[in-house]
Amino acid sequence: MSDFSYGFWGTVDNSLQYIGKGTARLLTRSSGTAEDVAFAATGGALLCSAVGAGIGFVLSDLSRSMATVEGAAVGLLLGACVGVFFGSFVEAVDEYIRNVLGSLRPK
């Protein structure tokens, strides 16, 4: 695929895959072959966990009824759940776009 047809979804997908691959390399010594979907889901989970923890921290600080650490923990867990879905969704959309663009090429 040419670099000009890379687009938004390809950029987001590769960013999430790089985050997931970096985490996998940090946590495991042996580098096995894994699916791109797993890397994208891991990257999405990490990215959304950080954002969710920040949002949970801020919202719990404003609510006065929940400790900020508890709010950050709840936000982190919810962010991880949303991030797995987000990473898988981005990978699926990017794969679909690649297939459509690949089918448009003359043979």
- Report residue 30's pLDDT band, with 50, 70 and 90 as the boundaries: low
Determine the Cα–Cα distance for residues 22 and 24; give it in Å rounded to an integer: 5
Mean confidence (pLDDT) of the chain: 80
What length does the chain have? 107
pLDDT category, 101, cuts 50, 70, 90? confident
Question: Contact, 22 vs 106, CB < 8 A?
Answer: no
In the chain, domain spans: 34-99
pLDDT the model gives residue 49: 92
Whether 32 and 25 have beta carbons less than 8 Å apart is answered as no
